[in-house]
């Protein structure tokens, strides 16, 4: 087994030690469970070239091949049939998750145009945080010429925290650039 990612070491050596007093038990300290990247392609997903290009792009970003998500039901208003591809999804755990998360907060997020910090209220009520990214070019691994279609994605950080405040504290300790709350 290779070297542990930088953020994993930081979590184990610094964050757990800091939060141990608050929770009493090191196993009760919240942790990052998984990171899910979801890219909805809409009607473009039925075009084989665009779908393959998006799969390659997400594979480069995440470091593993995404799965194709398919429509569960047919919806005539959207010209959608059950079983047709509608998007892509990647679930990252372990070392790959920490490596991606490190690149996300230290490289990709600062490259977002007009970035003023992430919304501190985008938690779901169960300690999970989702950010929407409008284009894949914030990741330096993606070259402008190799992409046939620009697509956005949702990136969800799933934590073991029981409350949004605990999850916000955990992600802030990792270095998530949250906006200051007004008021």
> Could you read off the pLDDT of 76-97 as tens digits, one per residue?
777 767 778 888 999 999 999 9
pTM of the model: 0.87
Sorting pLDDT into bands at 50, 70 and 90, what band is 180?
Answer: confident
Question: In percent, how much of the chain has pLDDT > 90?
Answer: 43
Mean of pLDDT values over 168-178:
93
Lowest mean pLDDT among 78-82, 126-130, 152-156, 165-169: 78-82
Q: What is the pLDDT of residue 112?
A: 84
CB 178, CB 56: distance < 8 Å:
no
Fold of 32-119+132-174: 50s Ribosomal Protein L5; Chain: A, (3.30.1440)
Closest CA to 119 of 163, 181, 167, 37: 181
| Mean pLDDT of the residues in the chain | 87
Q: What is the pLDDT of residue 50?
A: 81
Tens digit of pLDDT for each residue in 31-80? 999 999 999 887 766 678 888 888 888 999 999 999 988 878 777 777 76
113 or 91: whose pLDDT is higher? 91
Q: Per-residue b/e over 91-100, b at no fewer than 16 CB within 10 Å?
A: bbeebbbbbb
Q: Quick check: 183 pLDDT over 60?
A: no
Q: What is the pLDDT of residue 102?
A: 93
Q: Quick check: 182 pLDDT over 70?
A: no
Exposed/middle/buried for residue 182 (C-beta within 10 Å: 0-12, 13-18, 19+): exposed
Closest CA to 39 of 19, 57, 20: 57
Domain segments of the chain as ranges: 32-119+132-174
Q: What is the pLDDT of residue 161?
A: 94
Q: What is the pLDDT of residue 45?
A: 66
């Amino acid at each position: 087994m290779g070297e542990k990612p930088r953020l994993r070491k930081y979590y184990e050596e610094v964050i757990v030690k800091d939060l141990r007093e608050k929770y009493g038990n090191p196993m009760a300290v919240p942790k990052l469970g998984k990171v899910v990247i979801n890219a909805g392609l809409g009607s473009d997903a039925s075009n084989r070239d665009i779908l393959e290009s998006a799969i390659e792009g997400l594979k480069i970003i995440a470091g593993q091949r995404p799965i194709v998500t398919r429509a569960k039901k047919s919806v005539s208003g959207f010209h959608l049939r059950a079983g047709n591809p509608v998007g892509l999804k990647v679930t990252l755990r372990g070392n790959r998750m920490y490596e991606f998360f490190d690149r996300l907060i230290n490289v990709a997020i600062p490259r977002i145009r007009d970035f003023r910090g992430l919304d501190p209220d985008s938690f779901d009520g169960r300690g999970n945080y989702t950010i929407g990214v409008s284009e894949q070019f914030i990741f330096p691994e993606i070259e402008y010429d190799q992409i046939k279609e620009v697509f956005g994605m949702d990136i969800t950080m799933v934590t073991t925290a029981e409350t949004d405040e605990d999850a916000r504290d955990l992600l802030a300790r990792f270095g998530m650039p949250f906006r200051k709350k007004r008021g």
